[in-house]
Amino acid sequence: MAGGEGVSQLWKKEDWWAVWIGFLILILASLGMVDSAPKLGKWVSNPLALVGYGSGTSVGETLLPDILALFVGLSFLFGFALLFMGQSALRFLKGFVAVFLLAILAYLFANQATIKAWGISYAFWALLIGLLISNTISTPGWIRPAVKTELFIKTGLVLLGAEVLFNKILALGPPGLFVAWLVTPIVIVFMFWFGTRVMKMGNKSLVIVIAAATSVCGVSAAIAAAAASKAKKEDLTLAVGMSLLFTVLMMIGMPAFINAIGLDTRVGAAWMGGTIDATGAVVAAGEFLGEEAGKIAAVVKMIQNILIGVVAFCIAVYWATRVEGTGEFRSTSAAEIWIRFPKFILGFIGASLLFSFVVVPTLGAETVDNDILKATTKNIRGWLFCLAFVSIGLESNFKELASQMAGGKPLIFYLIGQSFNLILTLLAAYLAFGGILFDVQ
């Protein structure tokens, strides 16, 4: 690639724009120029109370302007990016109104008190709403220019990097590293081998996406793996759908099981942190076991999240150096590996390093955690992920998804892989947090 062409990719490629937009949001939040983002609370019988209509709370009265400000901000950022990528910003903005409203609807469903207690997240509702539209009335043509699944979620993953702070990782120390970093690569390698060699699944991209979702952190890892392996959107939708379903089941079932058998709560927390796919679900499940368990589960998951970048890089190299379907390796230049490598992963890693070694030491851990992450960037990331799941649903078709099931093989593969993951992680958690390899603090 020529030097001039290489530079031009910095503003013509979606991956790079995810990095630029993500870092802009992080910098503005760190400087206090963006100091909050809307977060919908629980509601019982009147969802409109959350946005300031009907009998609601004082919080609800301020949400509508905040939601409008978020819509305008995201419209400007993504519209500007699409202009540079040679697409129509006007067509995007027209469709983005609908996509954003559907994201609000998904959040409203997820925040109903009973539904929230069951742990059915916004991601499930966003995906379901999109799927219902695309498979009934079909996604209208004027909405399609705003269906930017990868741009939304890649930007969200860059923001996620800022939440992976090294001070929190070091606080848990070697036991957390042992559970998160020992089991994950073993599960990925085992699942890929089992899926392609034992179950003879021909779609290697689907296999690696499911393996990454199962072993690392569900949706985020699935997106990264899909980008690195050039998986189809149908592969990603199927993997995400299974991950979301079993995340809910495990979030509810694992704490109950741990209490029923009398397992040490530290061991149980580490077990959940290493196996439940979504960070939010891990935190919720950990809280069932107590405050200390909640912290252990969350930090183990955060340590595991670091591997998103590593896993994506390894998958990109593997896919670039392997001839599709032949099982033979070929010589590949560094340039080809670089081209296939998902650049937004650099943003994820860069954000983690920036916040860990610059922002936190400068502003203080408490300020960063409360005023920047919890108040702003985590909420914006949630909205970006919600927009992405709405988009995935809007561009997915049940017939195509059914064809991906291939007689139920992907589901069987997921169940076998997750079972292996549960057993191995429980063993690692017992060795690390049960006083066998490390002293119990």
User: What region, left, alpha or beta, does residue 276 occupy, with left being phi > 0 and alpha being psi -120 to 50 degrees?
Assistant: beta
Residue 285 and residue 275: Cα distance in Å, rounded?
A: 11
Contact 38/371 with Cβ under 8 angstroms? no
With cut-offs at 50, 70 and 90, classify the pLDDT of residue 81.
Answer: very high
pLDDT band (50, 70, 90) for residue 4: very low
Read off the pLDDT band of 167 (50, 70, 90).
confident
Site of tokens 């649903």: 393
DSSP codes joined into one string, 227-285: HHHT--HHHHHHHHHHHHHHHHHHHHHHHHHHHHHT--HHHHHHHHHHHSS-HHHHHHH
Tell me the pLDDT band of 54, cut-offs 50, 70 and 90.
very low
Q: What are the b/e assignments for 229-267, b being 16+ CB within 10 Å?
A: bebbebbbbbbbbbbbebbbebbbebbeebeeeebbbbb
The percentage of the chain sitting over the pLDDT mark of 90, rounded to a whole number, equals: 35
* Contact assessment for residue 302 and residue 293, using Cβ atoms and an 8 Å cutoff: no
| pLDDT tier, 330 (very low <50, low <70, confident <90, very high otherwise) | low
Put residue 371 in one of left, alpha, beta given phi > 0 → left and psi -120 to 50 → alpha. Answer: alpha
DSSP letter (8 states) at residue 326: T
SS3 content of the chain, % helix, strand, coil (to 5): 80, 0, 20
CB 95 within 8 A of CB 118: no
- Whole-number pLDDT of residue 58: 42
In the predicted model, is pLDDT for residue 364 greater than 80? yes
> Alpha-carbon distance 159 to 352, whole Å?
9
How far apart are alpha carbons 182 and 304 in whole angstroms? 10
Q: How far apart are CA 15 and CA 341, in angstroms?
A: 10
Task: Give the pLDDT mean for 283-299.
Answer: 78
Read off the pLDDT of residues 214-243 as tens digits, 9 standing for 90 and up: 988 777 788 888 888 888 878 888 888 888
pLDDT confidence of residue 3: 42
Query: Which has the closest alpha carbon to 325: 419, 203, 174?
Result: 203
Pick the range with the lowest mean pLDDT from 256-260, 356-360, 397-401, 416-420: 397-401
Segment 204-214, tens digit of pLDDT? 999 999 999 99
**To the nearest whole number, what is the mean pLDDT of the chain?**
83
Is the pLDDT at 406 greater than 70? The verdict is no
pLDDT band at 325 (very low <50, low <70, confident <90, very high): very low
Predicted local confidence at residue 143, as pLDDT: 95
Q: Which two tokens stand for residue 413?
A: 């593969």
The pLDDT score that the predictor gives to residue 1 is 40
Q: At residue 285, what is the residue type?
A: A
**Per-residue pLDDT tens digits for 88-147:** 999 999 999 999 999 999 998 888 888 777 767 788 888 889 989 988 988 999 999 999
Report pLDDT digits (tens) over 7-35: 566 777 888 999 999 999 999 999 999 88
| pLDDT given at position 335 | 66
Token look-up 């949706």 returns 219
